[in-house]
Every structure is written in C-alpha cells, then in structure tokens.
C-alpha cells in the first residue's frame, strides 16, 4: 500500500543518512522543511534544490523511488497552479490567442514547484532511511503523547489487514454482478463501508483484551535511547540547522532589497 | 482536497501545527478524563484504519469516479478521538500516497478535523431535535453532518490556498477562484451527505452502539 511499504525496502541500507540518529534527523529535517516552505524569492530556488540533491546523494537511494513519489501528487499540484502564469501578476511576457503570459505568475509557479519537490523529497528521505517504528519511538521520546503514538502504531498495524479485507469484499461484490453497469448505486457501497467499520469495531474488542493480557497500559513501553552516541550525529544536526538558518536569513535579506 | 507541500508559506505551516497541537491536546485531555483512557485506543485505531480504507472506495460518477472524505462520520463515531484520528489518517495519506504533505500536515488536520468536530455536534443536536421520528431524524442528522463537514472543509481549503499563493492575485480573481472551487464541490457535498446518511442508517440497523454518544 503506497510509499510506506516501498520505503521499507530501503530502510535497511547503510548510508550516512540511514545511520544518523533518528531524533536529530527528525528535528533537522523539520527545520529544513520549514526553511524550504519559507522560500519566497526565486533566487533561492537553486540553493534549495542543491541542498536536497546533496542530501539525496547522501542517502544512496535510487532515483526511481523519487519519481514514483512525485509523479501523482505533482500532477494534482500542477492542476491547482497551472493557471497562475496567466492570471497572476502585471508584467506581460507574451500575448497571443487570447492568452497573456505574466512574469510574476511564472515565477510563482516555479517557486511552488521547487518548494514542493524539495519538501516532498525531504519527507521521502525521512521515511526511506528510518524504520517506521523507530520514527514513532523517536517522536515519543521527543514528547509526543504515548496515547497518540499507540494509536498511530495500531492504525499502521491494521491498515494493511483492513485493506486486504476491503479488497476481498469488493471482489465478492463484483462476483455478484455489482459494478457491471455504470450506474450510481450508493446503497451497496454504504453497506460495504459499514461492514468494514463493524468488522474493525468487533476486532478492536479482541485486540484490546489481547493487549491487556500482554501488559498494555501498565508500564513504560519505549526506551528513550540514552546510550552514548557518536559526535557526528550532533555535527550533522548542526550542519542542517545552519543550512536552514542560512536559507531563512537569505530569504529575509533578499526580501529587504 | 489536501494542501500539498510547498503551496503555503512557513508561517501558515507553523500556525497549522500550532492549532493542531492545541486541538490534539484538548482531545487527549478529554480522553484522559475517562476512567480508563487506554481502553478506547484499539477501537479508535482500528476505526481510523477502517475510515482510511473506506475513503479509498471509489464511487462511480460517470464518466469518472470520486472518493469520499467521511470526516463528518468520523466525528460522529469517534467523538473525542476524532481529531487525533483525522491527524493520523492524514499522516498516513501523506506518507503513503503523497496526498497533502508533512509540512502541511498541521493545516490539513485543521481543514479536515475541525469540521469533523462540528459535524459531531450537528449530528447530536439534529438527532435530538428530530427524536420523534428516529429513522428520519438519524438520516437527516447524518446527512447534515456529512454534507456540512465537507462544505466547511472545502471553504477552509479554498480560502487558505487562494489567499496564500505567492503571486499577488487580483481580489476579483481571488473571489472568483474561491467561488469556482466551492461551486465545483457542491455535487460532492450532496453525495457525501447522502452516503453518510446511508452509512449511518446501516450502522444503526446492524451495530447501533457505534452511533451512541461518545464520552
């Protein structure tokens, strides 16, 4: 089901980004994500793309996974902003056939696309270099409430199961002739979704009992990772933080010009 | 209907995370008031998974197909767990399919989660007002909850996206864009309402405890 299962293939590699302490990686990437989101001047597009390219090379990941990741959401984004070069701005670059191409709109399109590519790639780097459970443990040790972490991990555990159940139920519906005609029949689809909810509700009662028997709710479940770490983890974090600060300052300086 | 990474600026992303943090904290505070807060975790988690998977069901609307949001029904069924559930669902949509994004997770959670909480109130009050005709009351309340939740999400989404585009749009163009996005979603709002009503009626018939008032 999507990227998370694909990313699992790559999390066991041994690149510098894979070995980086997850908490530093999380905090550093989040700061960088915000710095990327804050870029408002087209002159910072190149430094932003250079930063993300350097990080991608450090992760030793194939380009195919990046293409798979960007393809579909990229199309949706393009659908939302494709009109910008024709409706936003005052400086006319070209006119013809009833259309007017404007400079500000073109730059805005370029800026949004570059920010999108950079932030999406950063998200991919985080997920493809850190096992999901480790990521959740790191978030827990950074202060995310345990109830929320438990809910996320359980949701993740049962997403695939319920995805399979839905697939089986849809196959059964098709075998009974549903969907042969292109007619809108909401009743059977509502019953399908309802059955899925009821099955998961009933399963949750058994899951809770099993969890209680295994001691759920009685003790601290995650270690916060107090073992001695190499100073390079901190150096990496400081480097990322400085890059983020550099981008933020450059953006501020360029907007003041 | 998710804001993608890169579409809004850092202050908007941070404001989204701030609001989401506050709403999640309030929800967790409510949950911790119950005698055994961990008891609801498996139920909420499995229902979150089920809602996530159910939202992948494609509804054929010839010549294309659409998928539903179901945030109204999430509010109705999950109660205090609804906001964390929406947040988790959006997180998985972002990491699995690239819908939305990690930098915009906070703002997307507000767009989907706030209407879910409002929908829960609409459902509760609607059901109480129409208590003399229980089946009709349930259907109408569920329709209102589903349709209004999606309508609110559309309004929030369109306003945030259009007002945060980096190029200076003309005010008239801005208004027209918001209006166009809103009008384009009207059939989907009705579809969501009808589907939510049918689903609520089904649940009421087969497993009514799923619709009872959450504590």
**What pLDDT score was predicted for residue B215?**
39
Residues A26 and A128 reside in one and the same domain = yes
Residues A168 and A86 reside in one and the same domain = no
Residues A89 and A205 reside in one and the same domain = no
Q: For the domain made up of B10-211, give the CATH fold.
A: Arp2/3 complex 21 kDa subunit ARPC3 (1.10.1760)
Chain B nearest CA to A210, separation (Å) = 10
Residues A194 and A232 reside in one and the same domain = no
Q: Which domain holds residue A176?
A: 147-213
- Considering only residues 137 to 176 of chain A, which have any Cβ-Cβ distance to chain B shorter than 8 Å? 145, 147-148, 150-159, 161-163, 165-166, 170
Residues A123 and A192 reside in one and the same domain = no
For residue A210, what is the nearest residue in chain B, using CA coordinates? B42
Q: Which residues of A touch B194 (CB under 8 A)?
A: 186
**What pLDDT score was predicted for residue A79?**
79
Residues A77 and A92 reside in one and the same domain = yes
Domain count across chain A: 2
Which regions of chain B are under pLDDT 50?
A: 215
In a domain, A94, yes or no: yes
Task: Quote the distance between the C-alpha of residue B159 and its chain's center.
Answer: 17
Q: Shortest CA distance to A204 belongs to which of B38, B199, B20, B62?
A: B38
Bridge partners (DSSP) listed for residue A92 = A102
**What pLDDT score was predicted for residue B166?**
64
Residues A182 and A251 reside in one and the same domain = no
For residue B92, what is the nearest residue in chain A, using CA coordinates? A156
For residue B43, what is the nearest residue in chain A, using CA coordinates? A204
Residues A134 and A234 reside in one and the same domain = yes
* Mean pLDDT for back-to-back runs of 10 residues, chain A (257 residues): 64 88 94 92 93 95 88 81 81 84 88 92 92 90 90 87 86 78 76 88 83 71 56 91 94 84
**Could you tell me if A4 and A135 are in contact, meaning their C-beta atoms sit under 8 angstroms apart?**
no
Any CB–CB contact under 8 A between A247 and chain B? no
Closest CB to A104 among B54, B60, B168: B168
Q: Cβ A38–B60 below 8 Å, yes or no?
A: no
Strand segments (E) across chain B: 58-61, 64-67
**What pLDDT score was predicted for residue A223?**
53
Residues A173 and A234 reside in one and the same domain = no
What percent of chain A shows pLDDT beyond 90?
34
Residues A135 and A159 reside in one and the same domain = no
ipTM for this model: 0.85
In a domain, A47, yes or no: yes
In our burial notation (b when 16+ CB lie closer than 10 A, e otherwise), range A75-85 reads eebeebbeebb
Chain A nearest CA to B130, separation (Å) = 23
Closest CB to A119 among B54, B103, B173: B103
Residues A30 and A53 reside in one and the same domain = yes
**Could you tell me if B67 and B59 are in contact, meaning their C-beta atoms sit under 8 angstroms apart?**
yes
**Could you tell me if B172 and B46 are in contact, meaning their C-beta atoms sit under 8 angstroms apart?**
no
Q: Is the pTM of this model over 0.80?
A: yes
Any CB–CB contact under 8 A between A219 and chain B? no
Q: Cβ A88–B54 below 8 Å, yes or no?
A: no
Residues A41 and A153 reside in one and the same domain = no
């Amino acid at each position: 089901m999507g990227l998370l299962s694909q990313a699992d293939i790559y999390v066991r590699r041994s690149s510098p980004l894979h070995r980086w302490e997850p908490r530093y990686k999380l905090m550093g990437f989040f700061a960088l994500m915000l710095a990327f989101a804050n870029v408002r001047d087209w002159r910072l597009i190149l430094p932003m793309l250079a930063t993300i390219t350097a990080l991608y090379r450090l992760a030793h990941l194939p380009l195919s996974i990046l293409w798979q990741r960007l393809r579909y959401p990229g199309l949706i984004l393009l659908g939302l902003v494709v009109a910008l070069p024709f409706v936003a701005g005052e400086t006319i670059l070209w006119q013809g056939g009833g259309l007017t191409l404007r400079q500000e709109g073109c730059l805005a399109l370029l800026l949004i696309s570059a920010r999108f590519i950079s932030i999406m790639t950063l998200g991919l780097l985080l997920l493809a270099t850190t096992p999901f459970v480790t990521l959740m443990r790191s978030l827990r040790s950074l202060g995310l409430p345990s109830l929320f972490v438990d809910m996320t991990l359980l949701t993740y555990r049962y997403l695939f199961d319920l995805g399979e159940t839905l697939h089986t139920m849809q196959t059964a519906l098709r075998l009974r002739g549903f969907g042969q005609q292109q007619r809108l029949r909401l009743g059977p689809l509502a019953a399908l979704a309802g059955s899925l909810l009821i099955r998961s509700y009933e399963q949750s009662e058994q899951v809770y009992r099993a969890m209680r028997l295994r001691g759920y709710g009685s003790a601290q479940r995650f270690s916060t990772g107090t073992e001695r770490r190499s100073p390079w983890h901190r150096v990496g974090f400081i480097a990322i933080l400085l890059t983020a600060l550099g981008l933020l300052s450059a953006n501020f300086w360029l907007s003041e010009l | 209907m998710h804001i993608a990474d890169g579409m809004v600026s850092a202050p908007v992303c941070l404001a989204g995370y701030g609001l989401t943090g506050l709403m999640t904290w309030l929800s967790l505070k409510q949950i911790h008031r119950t005698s055994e807060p961990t008891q609801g975790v498996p139920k909420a988690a499995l229902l979150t998974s089920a809602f996530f998977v159910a939202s992948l069901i494609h509804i054929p609307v010839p010549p294309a197909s659409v998928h539903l949001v179901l945030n109204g029904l999430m509010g109705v069924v999950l109660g205090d767990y609804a906001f964390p559930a929406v947040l988790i669902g959006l997180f998985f949509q972002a990491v699995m399919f690239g819908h939305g994004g990690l930098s915009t997770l906070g703002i997307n959670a507000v767009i989907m989660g706030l209407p879910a909480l409002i929908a829960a109130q609409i459902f509760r009050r609607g059901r109480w007002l129409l208590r003399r005709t229980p089946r009709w009351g349930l259907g109408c309340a569920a329709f209102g909850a589903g349709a209004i939740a999606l309508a609110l999400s559309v309004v929030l989404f369109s306003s945030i996206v259009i007002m945060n585009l980096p190029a200076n749009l003309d005010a008239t163009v801005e208004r027209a864009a918001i209006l166009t996005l809103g009008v384009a979603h009207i059939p989907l709002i009705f579809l969501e309402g009808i589907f939510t009503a049918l689903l609520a009626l089904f649940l009421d018939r087969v497993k009514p405890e799923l619709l009872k008032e959450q504590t």
